[in-house]
Structure 1
Amino acid sequence: MPLGDDHFFEIANTARRPVKASLRAPGAIPYYGANNIQDYVEGHTHDGEYVLIAEDGSASLENYSIQHVRGKFWANNHVHVVRGANGVDTRFLYHYLTTANFLPFLSSKGRAKLTKANLVQIAVPIPCPDDPEKSLAIQGEIVRILDSFAELTAELTAELTARKKQYTHYRDQLLSFPKPDAEVA
């Protein structure tokens, strides 16, 4: 289904509002731009579970900036704000979009940009679209597996980092030789 199908997806871009850094009132609400949280402010533009897709300014075109957010947040005009609707789990949408190839949908005039006209053309595979209950069950299982995999990946990465630090410590200890005495008799 294309992201523009308003039966399955909601695009909540109309509430986005940019605010210059000098005019932002400091607060506890995350202020999102194309590449994650830019600041913390008072007030919010959205409340709920959403996927934020960089409109322009993604740090990487091959690994496009996709964010999953829950709760109150402020979205500036550099992100598209999308969520699942009838029979589409927003977390499932997030996982799918993190693997999607955005290059064919980006405008090539100067700075790469994902216009709303191109955003609505991106197809998302929905299992059993005619049976929302079954579809949500399947999506839920996919989300559970991918979230578990992400958690295991984070644990393994932390373990690998600790092992590299340990290796460096012992290597440096083994390869450091005492300095000879300056005075030789």
Structure 2
Amino acid sequence: MASQTAEEAMKAVRGIFEQYHNIRKARCYQGYDVDLMKNLKLVAATPKGTTTYELLIDERYSNLNGVMHGGAAGVIFDMCTTTALGPLSKEGYWDFLGGVTRTLGLSYLKGVAVGTTVRIHSEVIQAGRTMALIRGSMESLDGKTVYCTCDHHKVHVPTPEENKKFRPGGEKGKL
């Protein structure tokens, strides 16, 4: 069932992070998204499927020109937009990390200098039984500069059984 309050929406998104970190620790996973999932700061989430994060763009996310690497922007958007499905999720409906990416289209508008803290906003535009569209933007903290935007199309796939035991509250835990 979709969350009814902003507090419940925040809890749903935090639950995704908790499950991610539980799986990561159990499997000793050290993929390139680990630092991102440790450093994202959740600022807001709403029951209609929006999230807002802040993230310091440091050298881990940069290229040799001292700005955020385009590939890093893709990973950032992939994770941030996906978690916007958290407040809408229920067993069998966009649970855990919401499935797989079908397409992720980014528009780069302005380079993000290393040392800049950005705000990433994501909004679920449509979520059906098997497909979803989430839009994202990465902006300056004051909202005056838009660095890049994305349209993220996702295809729902069931949460693998072995990942269900890592849910907050265990396998039968609320999503």
**TM-score, scaled relative to structure 1:** 0.27
Larger Rg: 1
Greater per-residue strand proportion: 2
More helix by share: 1
